[in-house]
Amino acid sequence: MRGVRLKLTPVSGEPGFEPLVVLELASDIKEEAVVWLLSRIRDPQQNGGAELLVEHLGPGVRPQEKENPNLFLVGASWQRLLSGAEDLGLFKEYSDGSMRGFTCSNKHNFKDFTGDGDSFLSMAECQHIIKHELDTLRAREETHVPGYPQAKLYPGKSIIRRLQSKRILIQMFPLHHKEELKRLSFSWYQKVRLSLQPLDSIRHYYGEGQALYFGFLEYFTFALVPMALIGVPYYLFDWEDYDKYVIFAVFNLVWCTVILELWKRRSASLAYQWGTLSRKQAFEEPRPGFHGVLGFNPVTGREEPLYSNAKRQLRIYLVSLPFVLLCLYLSLYVMMVYFLLEGWVLSIHDENPTFWTGVLLFIPSVAYAVVIEAMNLIYRYAAEFLTEWENHRLESSYQNHLVLKVLVYNFFNCFASLFYIAFVMQDMVLLRQSLATLLITSQILNQFMEAFLPYWLQRRRNKKMVRKVQGRRVLEDKALPLAEQVRLEADMSTYLGTFDDYLELFLLFGYVSLFSCVYPLAAVLVVLNNITEVYSDAFKMCHVFKRPFADPAANIGVWQLAFEAMSVIAVVTNCALIGMSPQVRAYFPHSETQLILWTVAVEHGLLALKFILTFLIPDVPKHIQIKLARIEFESLEALKKKVCLFVLG
């Protein structure tokens, strides 16, 4: 927040109420359910409530029939937010510059804590605290939501999650802060500049998960610059006669190992600075869709649905895994059909070239692209359905399984044809052509689908809303009154997380690390893509989507693993490409066996070296290791002192 707060006319008479989070309830919700929910939210903590402030949002300027009247604004007192921060184990900067878990009793020793503390917790943190408090609002006895006998509640069960799964609560989202958003978007992408992204401000406004994504995007772009710089002369000065790519492949190979190791360090630095590195996660609650027979959780002792792990494993290995393998086989089959068609069309064109056969030449590629896109879409739905059906207890485990499924399939779809061209057809000219086509088209399509289309839709809705309001009075600065602002944001699309963004980066990383030695311009294209990606992603975060809740991530999670797996594949691929190059073949004129054995030996050596490097480069920079060790040491010492006092006293 850096000293600014929402300056809004309070919706109710209570002074100082700052709306942070919006709850949208079903428009046909029963009265008693609303009364019950609001009282649970307002009740003091010793009565099992959340002790938050909540107000009903009044009707808009010109209320319509369709408008949902059941929008509620949630806020909290300053004291409540602080105790919530302690509850969450939020790490803040201490007076000595280290990051420590915030405690109310120790609050004055934290940097930036100034009595009223307006700038101590960022708005994103406040919203995260409120979300946490709402999520952990639990039923006290076995009952049901008043007015909804089918919405059963068990002691210790999260109320909000049950309301969400029964569609009584339609959505819960944090409010944007127009002023801060304007400043952020200006420093982020509106001014033309050569500076880095304002990662701290992004983290401040969107939380650590988002900031880490943009940090990774930026890091990845910079890491590609050397590749791009080497690639350009290769391309321009005729180095690109496909025979001399050995040096490039070797460079590639070292590059993709080193940048991933260094990213781990950079990520640890960022996470330390943002206080998420050593934060302890609270015990994770089951995800809303999780179901099972009611029993006692062996860890918490609370009553909650239980689902046997063995059953889940059976579903994964006997249904999901065969399904994924089948899809991969299908994808391979479609690819083979494509290559057959391609060959067939080419032979027709070569036999008797006319205008129509020239057009025909494009048809297999176009058909293949369309089929691939359709298969991708269907597979994505199937993967989501299957992962839901696997009935994972934790959101994180659900996400990991979904990411893995989608990742493997996308990898296959994108790269199978390239591998086929490179290693079965051994046609480097075609490989280069396909790579260029894939990179350029996917880049253009993505940017369009991701940002401009949703923006255009949003803009239309926005204009309608402004026009509606302007019907009654002239607005100063085009600022909408709160009621309209909230309704407008409620209508915005929901940001579904960084999944698709990471997936895109993953595929780009694949193109560069696997095949850029054949097409050295790939790195240049990816750098250009990433630069526009920063702008379009920033733009869509600020203007197209609802504000997402902050996600206190300490690293990029399963994606680190995915990128590392890709870099291992890159080592193998590059070695094979080197082994196939005429240059290297020239060293073994008489024996192909010798050539292959040497290539394999070198590849094994490089893989071993890669693993040794992974071990040798510490994941956390030394100075942060020392800071973490110091905090650990101090807490042990404090414990010891307590013991001494006990023994002596």
Compute the least distance from the CB of residue 282 to a second copy, in Å: 6
Compute the least distance from the CB of residue 617 to a second copy, in Å: 12
Q: Categorise residue 497: left if φ over 0, alpha if ψ from -120 to 50, beta otherwise.
A: left
- Report the C-alpha gap between 595 and 220 in whole angstroms: 35
Contact present, 431 and 421 (Cβ < 8 Å) = yes
Question: Between residues 334 and 569, which has the closer beta carbon with respect to a second copy?
Answer: 569
Contact present, 73 and 57 (Cβ < 8 Å) = yes
Name the burial class of residue 49, with classes exposed (0-12), middle (13-18) and buried (19+) by CB atoms within 10 angstroms of its CB: middle
Compute the least distance from the CB of residue 362 to a second copy, in Å: 34
Which run of H or E residues covers position 74? strand 71-75
Question: Between residues 294 and 636, which has the closer beta carbon with respect to a second copy?
Answer: 636
Name the burial class of residue 554, with classes exposed (0-12), middle (13-18) and buried (19+) by CB atoms within 10 angstroms of its CB: buried
Q: Going by C-beta distance under 8 Å and a sequence separation of 6 or more, which residues neighbour residue 492? A: 458, 544, 545, 546
SS3 452: helix
Question: Between residues 170 and 408, which has the closer beta carbon with respect to a second copy?
Answer: 408
Cα-Cα-Cα-Cα dihedral sign, residues 275, 276, 281, 285: positive
Of 28, 18, 290, 19, the residue nearest 170 (C-alpha): 28
Question: Between residues 331 and 599, which has the closer beta carbon with respect to a second copy?
Answer: 599
Q: Going by C-beta distance under 8 Å and a sequence separation of 6 or more, which residues neighbour residue 402? A: 383, 384, 387, 499
Compute the least distance from the CB of residue 401 to a second copy, in Å: 12
Compute the least distance from the CB of residue 394 to a second copy, in Å: 12
Question: Between residues 491 and 634, which has the closer beta carbon with respect to a second copy?
Answer: 634
Binding residues for a second copy, rule: CB under 8 A, are 45-46, 79, 83, 86-87, 103-105, 280, 282-283, 298-300, 309, 572, 592-593, 596-597, 600, 604, 622, 626, 629-630, 632-633, 636, 640, 643-644, 646-648
Compute the least distance from the CB of residue 83 to a second copy, in Å: 4
Question: Between residues 48 and 358, which has the closer beta carbon with respect to a second copy?
Answer: 48
Question: Between residues 43 and 342, which has the closer beta carbon with respect to a second copy?
Answer: 43
- Report the C-alpha gap between 197 and 55 in whole angstroms: 37
Please give the structure tokens belonging to residue 589: 């004129």
In angstroms, the first-to-last Cα distance of the chain is 47
Question: Between residues 200 and 284, which has the closer beta carbon with respect to a second copy?
Answer: 284
Task: For tokens 């080497």, name the residue.
Answer: 230
Compute the least distance from the CB of residue 297 to a second copy, in Å: 9
- Report the C-alpha gap between 605 and 587 in whole angstroms: 19
- Report the C-alpha gap between 606 and 293 in whole angstroms: 51
The residues with which 148 forms a beta bridge, in sequence order, are 145
Compute the least distance from the CB of residue 395 to a second copy, in Å: 16
Question: Between residues 300 and 437, which has the closer beta carbon with respect to a second copy?
Answer: 300
Of 574, 580, 558, the residue nearest 610 (C-alpha): 574
Compute the least distance from the CB of residue 372 to a second copy, in Å: 25
- Report the C-alpha gap between 100 and 89 in whole angstroms: 9
Question: Between residues 177 and 392, which has the closer beta carbon with respect to a second copy?
Answer: 392
Question: Between residues 140 and 630, which has the closer beta carbon with respect to a second copy?
Answer: 630
Of 220, 244, 259, 218, the residue nearest 523 (C-alpha): 220
Question: Between residues 191 and 622, which has the closer beta carbon with respect to a second copy?
Answer: 622
Compute the least distance from the CB of residue 280 to a second copy, in Å: 7
- Report the C-alpha gap between 297 and 155 in whole angstroms: 12
Compute the least distance from the CB of residue 136 to a second copy, in Å: 10
Of 510, 537, 536, the residue nearest 523 (C-alpha): 510
Compute the least distance from the CB of residue 589 to a second copy, in Å: 15
